[in-house]
Amino acid sequence: MGSVKDLEIIQKPTQTTMGSGRFHFSDRYSVFDWGEMPDHIDGKGAALCMMGAYCFEQLEDLGVKTHYRGVLDEQGKVVKVCELKAPSTVMEVALVNVYRPKTTVIEGKIVHDYSIYTPQLKNCLIPLEIIYRNGLPEGSSVFKRLSQRKVTLEDLGLDHEPKPGEQLAKPIFDVSTKLEETDRYVTWAEAQRIAGLNDSELADVKAILIKADETITKVAAKAGLKNEDGKIELAFDDQRALMLVDVLGTLDECRFTFEGVHVSKEVARQFYKKTQWYSDVEEAKREAEAKGVQDWKALSKSQPPRLDPKLKTVISQMYMSTANEVTGKKMFDSPKLADVIREYKKYMGETA
């Protein structure tokens, strides 16, 4: 079970062959690596499944290899999105092995051992989240990392101090760890080392990222959305060929804006950033890093509060309306996205 979707294993992968499984998308959500939050967002699971499946199908049409096999219809048959009569919450995928790095504490610092990842390893998840940034909207982690001096302008390929809302002349490619207790941004050189990638494979990773970015940008535009940033995950199949895995192109994996307004999980993040709980989470993460403690959540002084009910309804409609407009199929009973954004702006004006 993940924080937002559950995995049903139909056939386990072996050392040499891929397995098969099904993602069951739930209405749960997670922010700031916390895991399951106290609310559920109606329609979110089905909307994520529809958007992710649609993006996978677009990329497969372009010849990009993925682990996607289809979605389940009401009769339990694996079909394409265009064949559905009602939204699905179940996606069938190929499965590979997941090798978590060994973790030890040396002189009060957490150290991760990635030695299992060699250039010969096949049939496995690559332990990285690979990120593209077309713009730097308010809330982008880039601003926090720059202010904390965890990254330089040069690292990001920027020649000036960026401002919130800035569109980039060319995308920034970023990378973080995937299988550690908290995602950690790393340099591309470190990413290559820990994942056991050769130079050619690293170039292929970036080429797939460009195709995914371009495809998601085109898909999002159908709903009037700007694709600000997003992440993909990759794996090696049983022949060590790269393929896209997990899910992509959704309001959880991407940061979209509609005429400057966030349409993504960022809406919930912005709500929580104004709470005491967020301050406690940030403090707990700092304390855990300083003490070499893995379970930072245990150090948090508070638990997350519930979302404001009005905001919860707006977020639910954002997910469903976006899925309708992106896929071109009105599978959810939800207003037009432009109307949902109008309601959100009204809500923000009331709570300002």
Measured in whole angstroms, how far is the alpha carbon of residue 116 from the centre of its chain?
25
Closest Cα to residue 179, out of 109, 115, 102, 288? 102
Question: Range of 278's domain?
Answer: 5-351
Instruction: State pLDDT tens for residues 259-288.
Output: 889 998 889 999 999 999 999 999 999 999
Instruction: State pLDDT tens for residues 12-26.
Output: 999 889 999 999 999
Domain count, the chain: 1
Mean pLDDT of 73-92: 96
* Three-state DSSP state, 68: strand
Instruction: State pLDDT tens for residues 204-255.
Output: 999 999 999 999 999 999 999 999 999 999 999 999 999 999 999 999 999 9
Q: Classify strands 226-236 and 254-258 as parallel, antiparallel or unpaired.
A: antiparallel
Instruction: State pLDDT tens for residues 135-188.
Output: 998 878 899 899 988 888 888 888 889 999 889 988 999 999 999 887 889 999
CATH code of the domain covering residue 249: 3.30.470.20
Closest Cα to residue 269, out of 232, 242, 307? 307
pLDDT score of 352 more than 60: no
- The proportion of the chain whose per-residue pLDDT surpasses 70, expressed as a percent, equals 99
What was the pLDDT predicted at 149?
87
Instruction: State pLDDT tens for residues 293-336.
Output: 888 999 999 999 999 999 999 999 999 999 999 999 999 999 99
Write 296-300 long-range contacts (CB < 8 A, 24+): 296/181, 296/182, 297/34, 297/35
What stretches of the chain adopt beta strand conformation (E)?
5-11, 19-25, 68-72, 78-79, 90-95, 102-106, 109-113, 124-125, 128-136, 166-177, 226-236, 242-245, 254-258, 261-263
Rounded Cα gap, residues 51 and 67, in angstroms: 15
Mean pLDDT of 33-57: 95
